[in-house]
Amino acid sequence: MTPIANSRTRALFGRQFFFNVNSQVQAPLLLVLRHYSSSNGEQLDADNVNEPRKSSNKSKTAKSMARLINSKPWSTELESSLFSLSPSISKTTFFQVLRFIASPSKAFEFFNWASRNGFTHDSRSYFMMLEILGRNGNLNIARNFLFSIERRSNGSVKIEDRFCNTLLRSYGNAGLFNEAIKLFSLMKSSGVSPSVITFNSLLLILLKRGRTNMAHSVFDEMCGTYGVTPDTYTFNILIRGFCKNSMVDEGFRFFKEMSRFNCEPDVVTYNTLVDGLCRAGKVRIAHNVVKGMVKKMKDLSPDVVTYTTLVRGYCMKQEIDEALVVFEEMVSRGLKPNDITYNTLIKGLCEVQKFDKIKEILGGAVGGRGFVPDTCTYNTLMNSQCDAGNFDEALKMFKKMKELKVQPDSATYSVLIRNLCQRGDFERAEQLFDELSDDDILLRDDGCTPLVAAYNPIFDFLCKNGKTSKAERVFRQLMKKGTQDPPSYKTLILGHCKEGTFEAGYKLLLYMLRRDYVPDFETYVLLINGFLQKGEPILAYKTLERMLKSSYLPKTSVFHSILSELLKHDFARESASFVVLMIDRKIRQNINLSTHTMRLLFGSGLRNKAFQIVELLYDNGYVVDMEELIGFICQNGKLLDAQKMLSFCLEKGHTVDINVCNVVIEGLCKMKRPLEAFGLYYKLVEKSNHQQLSCLEGLRTALEAGGRSEEAKFVSKRMPDERQLADLLYMDHGTLALVHCFTAQQQNQLSSTQCLSTEPVHMVSFISTQALPTYFSTLERSFMLLILGTNLSPRSSLALVYISLLCDASSIQFSLYQTIFFLNLLKMSKTIGNGASKHHATLTGRAPTPGKATILATGKAFPSQLVPQECLVEGYMRDTKCDDASIKEKLERLCKSTTVKTRYTVMSKEILEKYPELATEGSPTIKQRLEIANPAVVEMALKASIACINEWGGSVKDITHVVYVSSSEIRLPGGDLYLASQLGLRNDVGRVMLYFLGCYGGVTGLRVAKDIAENNPGSRILLTTSETTILGFRPPNKARPYDLVGAALFGDGAAAVIIGADPVIGKESPFMELSYAVQQFLPGTQNVIDGRLSEEGINFKLGRDLPQKIEDNIEEFCRKLMSKAGLTEFNDLFWAVHPGGPAILNRLESNLKLNTEKLECSRRALINYGNVSSNTIVYVLEYMKEELKRGGGEEWGLALAFGPGITFEGILLRSL
């Protein structure tokens, strides 16, 4: 057998096998195993000892140098010692030392040291160093080293394709798919022509990751653009890759193309093809290929791998007699079965319970030689004992395995650890886990490739019990072996978050992203919140940036929290960048945070950046608290910046407070900057906003003193006379005026005269400096009366106080700080929402309407299987055994177009193993589907209900009614009864079952619950919706294109809502009122959404005109609901729309001309959960609840859903 064949043998078959062993044959099997006493092991060891040792020509100098390097840290002293050993190092010594050095980093130090000491590197030494770095995972260093070769060698060594090839292979082994692609692109752009080895390496990486389309493109580029002729190894890679990706027909196509390139298939080619056919269940065709190989190829014969593959194929189909025939045929052709052959046959025999035959194999009666059980055999037997519930026997077998010197591998430990976790014996599981970790068993080159998922239960236990670092050590060992599992990343990251080691969690997130896996929404949010709690806003910022690149958009409050922490820690530049990011992402700004950002920028001396940001804010419709900001600027003596800021506001058409302008103009005049003061004044004149300025006398004086007579005349012409000056003190007609009158003669007996009049009162108050203390005392009392007892505007109120103080030339003016203080004090009560001024503010939540139903709490639940969208295509094609390239390409396009990122599903590997007929076209499987769906639906509904009741805070005994919605369950009694029983509800609880309504069922449930709540005072209704796609799961068929839409769009989950009228104050927290509900169907559309229940499950069909039908009728339907609140503008509402798909949301947004953010909650639900049928509207409402919690949002909104009929369900909502 060729070396390649040998390696393929282990790769194809060196895996743990699972089978059930009847307890009656346990003892005989163990007796047979015990036959292999320690003497056999000693004989094997003796054989190894007697092997002739290979002679070594390594020089003593090289060994001494390497020993020195390995034992000491690198230092100048070490370099001196090396120099004394070899002042002039030869090429032979150099290469010998490099091979003996254990650490890649020290090897690199030695490489550089040799250069500094006169050693001239050639292409061989550069290549060797590159291989050492790449092989040991130092990939960033290796990449930098590769592109520094020409500089290091002064151009004498050029980058060759073999240099790139070795790094490509290293990237592939490390699972860094994207890095490999980048290197290939850099290689081409650098003028390095890829060779056949380059293309082979890249094709291997692409097909290993399932990138079949890209592999096609690379192959075409190889043959067309570069004219590189593929070799047999190229086709072996292509055939194996496409067969592994369930595209056997495509593998056959490449097999036929070999002759076009004069490539002869070898035994590996045939073995690869046979393996692909067997995996696709086409074992008899595979057998015929082997027979044809024997007939056609005289110089090529099937080998042990060929026959072992056939044996495995027949065993997988449980055609054990055919497997035994193939086995005997192999023996008759003079081929000796190897351990993998025997283990494969043992697995098949166990599955059909032919245990006597297993005894014969273990006893040496089958195959013509005694079979020595190996690690795989023991793994198989231990797993069978575990499956049979005989775990103690499995542990005995594990002990015997060690006694016989059979090395356990990762599969051995995973079998035992997983079963211990399932039994709840985590203490013993952790002991085995420690043994696995401490002995570095996962890093051994022997044994099967470890499966990360097998260790997830112990990872979960350790991470929940403060031992995440222990779990991560093993996980990193698994990563070094090139195995990956996205759920494991999440488990560890969440473990770090729980323990407060967020930086470690962030590093794992980066590893995950580098390996082209997308963390889910929850992982990102937990990390961000953790960094914010620890006061690490920069890391929170970086995490958010990566979250956005993963196409997740967190809640607006997350953005605000990060910005708040950045400001708190005085990160001025980062805060400015973050504001830009928020604006780019259409995230609503908070006026207080925006103002704080501007203050920090000005305070940090970043005035140019400050003006850029404020202009960006105003250009996008946002504002800052200009009075506060200018007050801050003035307080820091930056009146020129204040003048520029006010000028900016005037240019943009925004109103400015005239009193602030007074302060700035006066300040500039005192600074002897009258021209700047005049510039601001001139802009006020242009805007006709100068009439109430009280600083004009000072401005004119300053201009005259500065020799600017023309400007002074301009000001004089527009100065008010005495009567006009007095008018500044009074209000408009019809205003209740409060004027405080003081006389200079009454310095010691100051009085306040309250003048009540509906006509303007003309009076100017004078006060001397001697009366100032008494004046302020009186002012303090009267000023508060002014605010509380009248309806004067704050601007007029301030003018009254301000003018009163200015009228006497010798009086003391208000300081800038007092002015700004009063201004802000008066405006505080006028700021709501995001800080923008309104006519009035609601300082408390809106009161519920008596008798109207309200939503009191929500909850949700999902099955354990999380499916990232990028993994769906390969998994679906594999699980349904579909190898049609056109179907796969169509599904890939659909998965991208749905915008879905993650979904949950009840379907699992275990279910498909138990019910393989679910993936078989035409199988009558409704019974099996309901066996799975019925309990799963209730289980999810139970979890969602518990979460909802916990949020509500009430007792289950207070629930008076249950509304149960599902399109995934069929049985009598229905799931409503099972749910009520498992929750412990009263036996007189009112139950309503709503079956097979489809996507609008959630809104229908809300409508029904609303009616119950409003007609049964004091009632509390639990609404549950629960859905799974099990009923509709089936292999793809070109005659049913909607199957692919369902596979790309739908998910599983449950939701729950507590609904009641007249919430109990202090105990219940309503957030939404169900004001008015309407249901409507569109005549003649009953076939647009069509669902039929059959023996194969449920078959759905969607008409292509569905989005158009909705678009044509939705506006009228919405206006019917809006009219109940007297609303006409769609953008005056908030929108909770069932996200049936992106096309429906896009049509709705376009047709109703909705602002982009209006459907944000619906899009987020679709991205994170997919279309979960009736549940999805509750997920949308939960996102909406978070948005509305921040206040300042719209009072009225609509909840909409669409389903079979075509039926429209809508509810007019009122935010509380």
> What span, in angstroms and rounded, lies between the C-alpha atoms of 1132 and 796?
33
> What span, in angstroms and rounded, lies between the C-alpha atoms of 439 and 399?
17
DSSP secondary structure of 457-479: HHHHHHHHTT-HHHHHHHHHHHH
Residues 696 and 729 sit within 8 Å (Cβ to Cβ): no
Instruction: Identify any residues that bridge with 861 across adjacent strands, giving them in sequence order.
Output: 1054
In the numeric block, which tokens belong to residue 300? 């090529």
> What span, in angstroms and rounded, lies between the C-alpha atoms of 753 and 453?
85
> What span, in angstroms and rounded, lies between the C-alpha atoms of 1216 and 1213?
10
- Chain-centroid distance of CA 87 in Å reads 56
Q: Does a cis peptide bond (omega within 30 degrees of 0) precede residue 408?
A: no
Closest CA to 677 of 685, 686, 668: 668
DSSP state, residue 1125: G
Closest CA to 888 of 1112, 1047, 1075, 1052: 1047
Q: Is 1161 a catalytic residue?
A: no
> What span, in angstroms and rounded, lies between the C-alpha atoms of 87 and 102?
22
Among residues 463, 695, 999, 1118, the one annotated as catalytic is 999
Ramachandran area for residue 579 (φ above 0: left; ψ -120 to 50: alpha; else beta)? alpha
> What span, in angstroms and rounded, lies between the C-alpha atoms of 288 and 614?
76
DSSP state, residue 60: H
In the numeric block, which tokens belong to residue 12? 């194809």
> What span, in angstroms and rounded, lies between the C-alpha atoms of 25 and 394?
14
- Chain-centroid distance of CA 197 in Å reads 36
Residues 1 and 304 sit within 8 Å (Cβ to Cβ): yes
Instruction: Identify any residues that bridge with 1022 across adjacent strands, giving them in sequence order.
Output: 962, 1058
Closest CA to 701 of 722, 677, 727, 685: 677
> What span, in angstroms and rounded, lies between the C-alpha atoms of 31 and 38?
14
> What span, in angstroms and rounded, lies between the C-alpha atoms of 755 and 737?
7
DSSP state, residue 729: T
Handedness of CA 144, 145, 146, 149 (dihedral sign): positive
Closest CA to 661 of 631, 632, 625, 638: 631
In the numeric block, which tokens belong to residue 678? 């005049």
902: three-class secondary structure by DSSP: strand
Residues 969 and 934 sit within 8 Å (Cβ to Cβ): yes
Residues 6+ apart with CB under 8 A from 966: 937, 941, 975, 994, 995, 1001, 1025, 1026, 1027, 1174
Q: Which amino acid is at 957?
A: K
Q: Which amino acid is at 1191?
A: G
Active centre residues (catalytic): 999
